Amino acid sequence: MKNKYWFLVAIIFAGLFLRLWNITGPDMMGDDAHYSFRALGWFDYVASENLQSTPVTWFPVARWWQYLSFHDHPPLAFLIQFLFFAIFGDSLLVARLPSVLAGVLSIWAIFLLAKELWSSRAGLIAASIVAFSSYSLWLSRFAYLDIWVPLFVILSIYFFVRAQKKSVNYIFWGLFLALGILTKYTFIFVFPVFLLALILWHNNFWQDKNFYLGLVLSAVLISPLVIYNLAMFKARGHFDAAVSSAMGMHPEDFKGLQRTLAEGGFNPKAFALVFYRNMSLGLQALIYGSLIFLFFRFAKGREWQKDYFIFGGLFFGGVTLYLTSVGDKYSIILLPFLVLAVGAA
């Protein structure tokens, strides 16, 4: 048992080293710089006002609600980076440290989940893949919001699974549900997975007070985001950019961000290219082989209670990617399920 945890420590430190090595080498550009600038002063501004305006430019006097979130994304990842700047000062290293933290915590979290579902060996395999995967490494070395989403996906599933044994874990499940939503709206794709799991796996959850406490905690934590969107709708006639896009709104305030499902549609080739560009051929072969193996186990009805997390997650994750456009950053939300598949197999 001790050897297993020493292996885990070694894997985590290796993952930390790879994420920190020469992290200040590449200069900031694109979203890496854009998000950091806005987090540094908690200032929701973009230069292209003619295409993407923000509350900063809408009102001559700032409205109280505009500090609760941002016009295009929920506030949590910005808040974490803002706190890092406030504590450690403003530098390129500090700007990217939160992403490193999220990547390293994901290594530990995926071990806990795979161990809870299957075994320590499955956990070590899954943790190793997250630690060394170029896909995870890339997003852990730049100040993107997306690297936080897999971490909260993993932790929300972990406490949901543990709640079957000890219902107090529903409270922590609600906590990480809220943190996921407060990071990026694409996190919502796990909700149908949890609903399916509740119906098929968790008996009498509706009679458990901890389940409702978890939901109440989640609702309280996301309430600033709800207030922000309602206040924006009252003031401007639309919600934030992401919610407006999802609801088919096309406000003039965000005309440079408008996207619809009709614009190109789902491209299977682009979907496959995301993983081809970001994972080695060996890892791709390992993932596809594991998924095929688990599919046949699933079809035979063996351990379906655990395997449906993988297949349900992949299915709804694919739907989410369809709705949000296929992209290298967005597709990281599927990494926990792919890694779990390998660990389980």
- Mean pLDDT of the region 4-16: 94
pLDDT tens track for 40-78: 999 998 887 667 889 999 999 999 999 999 999 999 999
pLDDT tens track for 116-136: 989 999 999 999 999 999 999
Collapsing DSSP states into helix, strand and coil, what is residue 231? helix
In this predicted structure, the answer to whether residue 18 has a pLDDT above a threshold of 50 is: yes
CA distance linking residue 145 with residue 240, whole number of Å = 17
Question: Out of 1-15, 42-56, 93-107, 123-137, which region has the weakest mean confidence (pLDDT)?
Answer: 42-56
Indicate the pLDDT class of residue 263, thresholds 50, 70 and 90: very low
Please give the C-alpha separations between residue 226 and each of 146, 167, 189, 241, 242, in angstroms, as whole numbers. Answer: 21, 28, 18, 14, 13
Tokens of 247: 């609801």
Handedness of CA 243, 249, 255, 256 (dihedral sign): positive
Contact 36, 81 (CB under 8 A): yes
Question: Out of 104-118, 177-191, 300-314, which region has the weakest mean confidence (pLDDT)?
Answer: 300-314
- Mean pLDDT of the region 142-147: 93
